[in-house]
Amino acid sequence: MINLSVNVNKIATLRNARGGNMPDVLQVAMDCERFGADGITVHPRPDERHIRRSDVLALRPLVRTEFNIEGYPSEQFMELVLSVRPTQATLVPDAPNALTSSAGWNVQDNMELLCGIVDRLKEAGIRTSIFVGTDLENIRAAARTGTDRIELYTGPFAEDFETGYDPEGAVAPFAAAAATAHSVGLGVNAGHDLNLKNLKFFQQHVPHLAEVSIGHALVCDALYLGLEATIRAYKDCLK
């Protein structure tokens, strides 16, 4: 079974739009676990426009499944991650003002940085994942950093799949990327724009998939279906 990690950033965005504590990010995270989620993901950004540092600290003792913190590995981010010690840290190359993650690392150009970050995280017993595209040489370079996993940026797949023209062609680079990652000893995660329309097809065609991280689409679906039914539907896609 492929794990579903629910990204609760969008819940925090909704809370922050009005102030106060509605919806309660902590309660929603616990409910996601209760409804069957295999993990909780957060992506704290420097401006705290959605998940705040205080949310991350408050979630740590409450999360009973896997806790995944993703972000650009600035010193501020590293201090937070090393103090919280989540199950996994996912390293993304986002600029501080990025709206959302929209590309993976050029690993070779950032090899020294990533090797140092991975070493620090592994010394603390934190599983590491590097956010990448489907370039095979880039994935082989990721393995040389010592990371445990990669997370495939699935935005291009979702965009191409939506056209309905060539779904097999849309997924083929991701299948090759996952096979390459597995061949060099890396676990495979995936995330970005995966949803109830494309997730089942993706997981059926991409080998060695360990985990998907989904937030925006899942929260949008929950507006219509309810959170419990939505998580159940996403889990059904991963069977």
Q: Minimal CA–CA distance to 55: which of 90, 30, 36?
A: 30
Q: Minimal CA–CA distance to 52: which of 38, 36, 71?
A: 71
* Token pair for 122: 């592994």
| Active-site option among 66, 70, 151, 211 | 70
Our answer to whether residue 208 is catalytic in this structure is no
Strand partners, 151: 131, 189
Strand partners, 88: 68, 127
| Active-site option among 33, 50, 66, 192 | 192
Q: Minimal CA–CA distance to 8: which of 41, 55, 47, 57?
A: 41
Q: What letter would DSSP give residue 198?
A: T
| Active-site option among 43, 50, 66, 151 | 43
Determine the Cα–Cα distance for residues 217 and 197; give it in Å rounded to an integer. Answer: 10
Our answer to whether residue 205 is catalytic in this structure is no
Q: What letter would DSSP give residue 193?
A: S
CB of 237 closer than 8 Å to CB of 200: yes
Question: Any idea which residues carry the catalytic annotation?
Answer: 43, 70, 192
